[in-house]
Amino acid sequence: MTSTPQRDTATHCPYCAFQCGMRLSGPREAAVVDGDEAFPVNKGALCIKGWTSAAPLAHPDRLLSPLVRNGAGELVPSTWDEALDRMVEAFRSARTDYGADAVGIFGGGSLTNEKAYLLGKFARVALGTANIDYNGRFCMSSAAAASIRALGIDRGLPFPLEDIVGAEVVLLAGSNVAETMPPIMQYFEAQHASGGVLVVSDPRRTATAAAADLHLRLTPGTDAVLANGLLHLLIRDNLIDHDYIRERTEGFERVRQIAATYWPERVERITGIPEAELLQTARLLGRAKTAMILTGRGAEQQAQGVTNVLSCIKLALALGKVGRPNSGYGCLTGQGNGQGGREHGQKADQLPGYRLIADPAARQHVAAVWDFPEEELPGPGKSAYELLDSLGPEGGIRSLLVLGSNVMVSAPHGNNIRERLEALDFLAVSDFFLSETALLADVVLPSAQWAEEEGTMTNLEGRVIRRRRAYDPPEGVLTDLELLERLAARLGRERWFTYTGPEAVFEELRAASAGGVADYSGITYEKIETGQGVFWPCPSVDHPGTPRLFAESFPTSSGRARFHPVLHRSPAEEPDEDFPLYLTTGRVLAQYQSGTQTRRIAELEGMASEPLAEINPTTAERYGLSDGDMLTLETRRGAARVRARLTEAIRPDTVFTPFHWPNEQSANLLTNPALDPTSRMPEFKVCAVRIVKE
């Protein structure tokens, strides 16, 4: 693998939404990573994944040519011409035989804005299919849906991270940031140093909960009950902000009636949180001049994820905190470009600029920018799990391109996902490595990695930043943008897919997003360079960008924030005689997502080489389990083999296992695909499980 000569490039980590600034130097084979002290978000700090992030660039497993499945059923190296011809042939015949919607696209939140945008355009203009969605649906979609409904806009954090430092109280609902974005801890440490208090709700005493002043060890799936219970106490003790509620919100009365039914004894019974801790939390929040509520996947990845987040938002609204300094509600977005990836059209219901594909004005605007007939743009398609569940003759999607996701490991109800993928007539996967999903493909396309491409990413604050190319891609490897351009040309759509490079794609994205909710029209590559990023919305070139939202009003039809009168529900599946424990899933520090990248890095494997199921010692005793024993976790959908890790940190009624591993170790063989009715988020965080000792 050749590499361009050594140079020092300022770019950002390929992994999470914190998008730490880093400097990359040395040749690709021995690339050296350093934290970028000039970047104001991480201020030079990186986590272990960031420090080791250059290892995949020259990894021996790296794909360096396309692969195609031969007559004997093996994946063998091929030319690009052959791989692309096979794809075009498969897409054409699916379309001819079954209609345009028989071709599906599955994208990802790790793609740059340019790639996410072009993938959306590719689906609608080159393929004419409605069926495109992406893995962000499995991530922050419940928070996104709730924020749009209550606040009129979904920008994960509507304020910069530095606002955390000045918050007197922060309630962190279902997030383990000490492991999932460690450099954020410097903000909580500074908050603590200036007298601030951190409260964490989590069924486990995580590293984050251990660093907090108060840990609410709630029963999985009871976040809405907790939020309603806190609101009950705030109303009872007159700690809500009546002026704010009157002047800036609507719909409080119904919410007050609902909160009245969440009296403390009831809340304690359902959540398991002692009444004294509920009262302590309510008082902390109610008496603070500045207070913030932040949610992570713990509260969001549930079949009632939207209800949970709406309940957190109404707490922040009743406290009068949304739009005030060092205060408000925010969602901690997860993937590298989880924010930008949900704004520019790779979602089933969406066009660029966070426009809705069903909205006639949005269609006209984007069709005009694309110079494409509006009536030929498809309508809304299927959401991520529903799309995957529709693969094969029954569901009707016969051909699929996966670009930037490893659904075999990360989608819920893994046994069904495997069956559905196998029922396809044709599967193409673009990745850097032969992921578990790529192993099932008919065509595998080797993609350039983060340090080999130019583009923009939007971090968890809504700050648009530059990803910079330090190396040319290895010979034989294309960027995803080049792949889409070549495919479109072969599909006879060259006219709409000819760009001089990523910046030209961004220029078109600017125009397509102009006037939309996520307005990038005033952002340029140059402006990002000079300002350490630009916060959207940024509607004109002379506009400085918008670090803080909601100071004056909300982007709703009335200008007011909306309270939603929502009642909690039980999780879709509750423990019973056969499956007596809760199962919850999530992450560990040293592995990232489906692990395609991080399971190949020796240093990270040394820290976490297999899934450890966290089990309370009292529970373990019932099953005769000792620390380190192998066991099988079983749910109604499947079984997974994991090693026991006994710890007092977890509730006795709950088992936690991380989802970074494939095959018989996969947590997603167990998880429940029950979907939130609004966001279509699966219930990754709660189902019923039993332990079988080996």
Provide the binding-site residues for ligand MGD, judged by CB under 6 A. 16, 108-111, 135, 138-139, 173-177, 179-181, 201-204, 206, 218, 220-221, 223, 296-299, 301, 334-335, 403-406, 409-410, 430-433, 435, 447, 480, 584-587, 589, 591-594, 596-597, 656, 659, 667-668, 671, 684-686
What is the binding site for Mo ion (CB under 5 A)?
139, 334-335
Nearest distance from C-beta of residue 71 to Mo ion, angstroms: 39
Side chain identity at residue 350, one-letter code: Q
Round to whole Å and give the CA distance between 87 and 490.
10
18 binds ligand SF4 (CB under 6 A): yes
Q: Give the CB-side neighbour count of residue 54, counting CA atoms within 13 A.
A: 21
> Which is closer to ligand SF4, CB of 48 or CB of 356?
48
Q: What is the CA radius of gyration of the chain?
A: 24
CB 22 within 8 A of CB 12: yes
Give the nearest distance from C-beta 88 to ligand MGD in angstroms. 18
Nearer to ligand MGD, 191 or 430 (CB): 430
Question: Per CB under 6 A, which region of 42-50, 372-380, 410-418, 494-502 contacts ligand SF4?
Answer: 42-50
Strands 426-431 and 399-403: parallel
Closest to ligand SF4 by CB, 181 or 319: 181
Alpha carbon distance 601, 660 (integer Å): 13
Distance CA 316, CA 227 (A): 10
Cα–Cα distance, 640 to 487 (Å, whole number): 39
CA distances, 110 to each of 137, 431, 588 (Å): 13, 12, 19
Shortest spacing between CB 346 and ligand MGD, in angstroms: 12
Positions 170 through 189 that interact with ligand SF4 (CB under 6 A): 181-183
Q: Which residue is nearest to ligand MGD (CB)?
A: 334
Minimum CB separation of residue 5 from ligand MGD in Å reads 24
479 binds, among Mo ion, ligand SF4, ligand MGD, none (CB under 5 to 8 A by kind): none
Find which of Mo ion, ligand MGD, ligand SF4, none residue 586 binds, CB within 5 to 8 Å per kind.
Answer: ligand MGD
Please, what is the angle between helix 113-121 and helix 480-490, to 10°? 20
Residue 456 vs 594, nearer CB to Mo ion: 594
**What stretches of 299-363 adopt beta strand conformation (E)?**
328-331, 350-351, 355-356
Distance (Å, rounded) from C-alpha 563 to C-alpha 584? 29
Residue 618 CB-density burial (10 A; 0-12 exposed, 13-18 middle, 19+ buried):
exposed
CB of 617 to ligand MGD, least distance (A): 18
Beta carbon of residue 410, minimum distance to ligand SF4 (angstroms, whole number) = 17
Q: What is the smallest separation between the CB atom of 141 and ligand MGD, expressed in angstroms? A: 9
Q: How far is the CB of 335 from ligand SF4 (least distance, A)?
A: 10
Select 235 or 604, whichever has its Cβ closest to ligand SF4: 604
Binding mask 83-122 for ligand SF4 (x = CB under 6 A): ----------------------------------------
Give dist(CA 154, CA 326) in Å, integer: 18
| 537 upstream amide cis, omega within 30 of 0 | yes
* From the list ligand MGD, Mo ion, ligand SF4, none, partner contacted by residue 561 (C-beta under 5 to 8 A by kind): none
d(CA 438, CA 408): 9
Least distance to ligand MGD, CB of residue 411, Å: 7
Q: Residue-wise over 542-555: b if at least 16 C-beta within 10 A, else e?
A: eeebbbbbbeeebe
If you ran DSSP here, which 8-state letter would residue 504 be given? H
Sign of CA dihedral 439, 441, 447, 449: negative
Q: One-letter amino acid identity for 525?
A: Y
Q: Which does 355 bind (CB under 5 to 8 A by kind): Mo ion, ligand MGD, ligand SF4, none?
A: none
Query: Under a CB-based contact definition with an 8 Å cutoff, are residues 198 and 188 in contact?
Result: yes
Q: Residue 50, interface with ligand SF4 (CB under 6 A)?
A: yes
Regarding 47 and contact with ligand SF4 (CB under 6 A), the answer is yes
Residue type, 243: D
16 binds ligand SF4 (CB under 6 A): yes
Phi, psi of 641 (to 5 degrees): -95, 125
| One-letter amino acid of 110 | S
- Amino acid occupying residue 568: H
Task: Give CA separation, 259 vs 115, 225, 321, in Å.
Answer: 44, 9, 18
Closest CA to 301 of 643, 577, 585, 531: 585
Query: What SS3 class is residue 438?
Result: helix
Number of residues that bind ligand SF4 (CB under 6 A): 14
Among 3, 11, 20, 593, binds ligand SF4 (CB under 6 A): 20
Residue 404 contact, options ligand SF4, ligand MGD, Mo ion, none, Cβ 5-8 Å cut-off depending on partner type: ligand MGD
Does 340 help bind ligand SF4 (rule: CB under 6 A)?
no
Per CB under 6 A, 69 contacts ligand SF4: no
C-beta of 135 vs 249, nearer to Mo ion? 135
Q: Give the residue with the Cβ less far from ligand MGD, 167 or 484.
A: 484
As measured in angstroms, the least distance from the Cβ of 588 to ligand SF4 is: 13
182 binds, among ligand SF4, Mo ion, ligand MGD, none (CB under 5 to 8 A by kind): ligand SF4
CA–CA separation, 407 and 370 (whole Å): 31
Contacting residues for 131 by C-beta, under 8 A, at least 6 apart: 101, 103, 104, 105, 123, 348, 381, 382, 387, 390, 397
Q: Closer to ligand MGD at the Cβ: 170 or 589?
A: 589
Are 428 and 442 within 8 A, CB to CB?
Answer: yes
467 counts as binding ligand SF4 under rule CB under 6 A: no
Residue 633 binds which entry of ligand MGD, Mo ion, ligand SF4, none, CB below 5-8 Å type-dependent: none
Partner interacting with residue 108 (select from ligand MGD, Mo ion, ligand SF4, none; CB below 5-8 Å by kind): ligand MGD
Is 49 one of the binding residues for ligand SF4 (CB under 6 A)? yes
630, amino acid identity: M
User: Nearest approach, Cβ of 406 to ligand SF4 (angstroms)?
Assistant: 17
According to DSSP, the β-strands at 132-134 and 32-35 are unpaired
Nearest approach in angstroms of CB 289 to ligand SF4 is 30
594 is a contact residue toward ligand SF4 (CB under 6 A): no
Amino acid at 536: W
Residue placing its CB nearer to ligand SF4 in the complex, 244 or 535: 535
CB closer to ligand MGD out of 204 and 466: 204
Tokens found for residue 444: 């595998």
Binding stretches for ligand SF4 (CB under 6 A): 13, 15-16, 18-20, 42, 46-47, 49-50, 181-183
